[in-house]
Chains A and B, each alone.
Chain A
Amino acid sequence: MTGAAERLDAQLTVAAPPVGRVKLSLNGVARSFGAVRALDRVDLSIAEGEFVTLIGPSGCGKSTLFNILAGLLEPDPGGTLLLDGAPAPSGSLLGRIAFMPQRDLLLPWRTVLDNAILAAEIQGQKKREARELARSMAAEFGLKGFENHYPQQLSGGMRQRVALMRTFLFDREVMLLDEPFGALDALTRALMQRWLLDLWSRYRRTILFITHDIDEAIFLGDRVTVMSARPGRITLDRTIPLPRPRQPSLLTAPEFMALKRELLEAVEEESLKAFAANGP
């Protein structure tokens, strides 16, 4: 652990819990909008410190699922949602899970540092303390020297790192990342993936990561889950037994290719279904 990581944990996190315990568990979570059934009985369980990726065709209800987990949307009655083994009704989830949406949504009138501490500030942390902590983490997030810049002066990759830093500083054990690298070019994206893994191995948060990209899903995840076309449900849950730390060369290794083939087939099937349902 680096100094900043230690300080973050000492200041904000309670003692490190035993690894392997179930952190987040969904059982038959569903949601309809009028006649449209967006989510159909989602079952998913994520262990403490696990990195789970979720892929699925567009419009499969991934965002609905994320909004439910972030506490922004009420699920239909019937299903159960457990956080740390305790039932978590929708409103109670607000402020308990660190949610990072697709777009960085940085505030243009705040500097990099002040954007990064936004969540901590809303949680009632002293601005000065939060800034100090953020300053000590800036190097790790590749933002050293840019602390007092404004978002509009940064590149897309840097903006995304500020948003990630904001999510990390919002010190919650579960992080929901919704296609955080979706808008980046391939090269930047590959760098950001390795950097995220590095960060994750140090801070050990539980992560649920949405993506469209199968390579990304396999490269990052301990498990890859596939969601079906609407109404969304988890149709495949595949453990990725590839060793860590993972290097870029892994992307062309035969065992990676075998996994990719298997997952591509599953995703293809769902995409075709989605296409048949919504297509021309």
Chain B
Amino acid sequence: MSWRTLPRLAAPLLLIALLWEGAVLGFGISPFYLPPLRQVLGAIAALWPAYQSAFLVTLAEATAGFAMGALVGIAGGIAFAHLPRLRRMVLPLFVVSQTVPVIAFGAIVVLWFGNTLAAKAAIAFYLTFFPVTVNTLAGIEAVDPRQVALLRSFGAGSRELLWKLRLPAALPRIFTALRLSAPLALAGAIVGEWFGATQGVGAMLLAALFNEQVVAIWAAILAAAAVGSALFALVALAERALVFWREEL
């Protein structure tokens, strides 16, 4: 990240903080609906180790599921691009799987995996793999046929075509899917925590809700936003390293 990126990110955050504080003071909003920001930040500071570990737990769950989903999605897209028969048979199943809301599966997943990281990762995975599969497939199919012809005239087989042309050419689209599914993976991990987890941002949110601790709810929301930003930043860094050649990012 360059020295210009930080102020660019900080400015909108500062604006939101000012609006928050200003609204609470200016309109006299009851702390039940919206507590002042400094109170929320104070609550986080007071219990810093707890928020820190919740952040890390949820980040680990979301990242594990997200990474698995990305791998399976890319591999699936490649397989579907090369095996039209497999695609006709399996892709419809992928589509059908996405029509079931993940929350309906949540209880089953926890029964299967217990109260582990794997359970939350499974839900994050479920939300990630499909958009990545579809975009990998679309990216591979959008490769310029003239480019394929040129490489074939050099004697390239399908393996060389994949590694030297199709996959790199599909990367911009794959990253579009990854950026879209990073927040989904986080939502998946949080939903997973609602089925009896004791650790993580989602568990914290639920506990605060039951105890009607409005300040703690807002603190958990901020922690969730921090996890989402971290995940998004990971994807953005990887994209900058791999798709550096794209004209505008």
Q: Which residues of A contact B (CB under 8 A)?
A: 67, 70-72, 94-95, 97, 99, 101, 103, 105, 107-109, 118-119, 121-123, 150, 152, 170
> Is there a chain A Cβ closer than 8 Å to B153's Cβ?
yes
Given known A-B contacts A109-B168, A122-B160, A95 and B155 have beta carbons under 8 A apart? yes
Residue of A nearest to B144 (CB): A105
Are the C-beta atoms of B154 and A123 separated by less than 8 Å? yes
Are the C-beta atoms of A122 and B149 separated by less than 8 Å? no
Separation of A103 and B245 alpha carbons in the complex (Å): 19
Other than the given A71-B153, A170-B154, 8 more pairs (CB < 8 A) read A72-B152, A95-B153, A101-B150, A103-B146, A107-B147, A107-B165, A122-B155, A122-B160
CB distance from A170 to the nearest CB of B (A): 6
CB distance from B194 to the nearest CB of A (A): 42
Interface residue SS majority, chain A: loop
Residue of A nearest to B150 (CB): A105
Separation of A70 and B146 alpha carbons in the complex (Å): 13
Are the C-beta atoms of A94 and B164 separated by less than 8 Å? no
Interface size class of B (residues with CB under 8 A): 20 to 34
Separation of A68 and B168 alpha carbons in the complex (Å): 28
How many A-B pairs with Cβ below 8 Å? 53
Residue of B nearest to A66 (CB): B153
Residue of A103, A105, A108, A122 near B164 (CB, 8 A) is A122
Q: Which residues of B contact A (CB under 8 A)?
A: 144, 146-147, 149-156, 160, 164-165, 168, 171, 244-247
Residues in A whose Cβ lies below 8 Å from that of B245: 108-109, 150, 152
Are the C-beta atoms of B153 and A70 separated by less than 8 Å? yes
CB distance from B92 to the nearest CB of A (A): 33
Residues in A whose Cβ lies below 8 Å from that of B153: 70-72, 94-95, 97, 99
Separation of A120 and B207 alpha carbons in the complex (Å): 63
CB distance from B39 to the nearest CB of A (A): 50
CB distance from B178 to the nearest CB of A (A): 17
Closest 8 CB pairs of A and B: A95-B155, A119-B154, A99-B153, A70-B153, A108-B245, A109-B245, A122-B154, A122-B156
Are the C-beta atoms of B151 and A122 separated by less than 8 Å? yes
Residues in B whose Cβ lies below 8 Å from that of A99: 150, 153
CB distance from B169 to the nearest CB of A (A): 8
CB distance from A99 to the nearest CB of B (A): 4
Residues in A whose Cβ lies below 8 Å from that of B155: 94-95, 119, 122-123
Separation of A121 and B165 alpha carbons in the complex (Å): 13
Residues in A whose Cβ lies below 8 Å from that of B151: 118, 122
Residue of B149, B164, B244, B247 near A72 (CB, 8 A) is B149
Residues in A whose Cβ lies below 8 Å from that of B146: 101, 103, 105
CB distance from B159 to the nearest CB of A (A): 10
CB distance from B68 to the nearest CB of A (A): 26
CB distance from A163 to the nearest CB of B (A): 9
Separation of A72 and B149 alpha carbons in the complex (Å): 7
CB distance from B139 to the nearest CB of A (A): 13
Separation of A217 and B171 alpha carbons in the complex (Å): 41
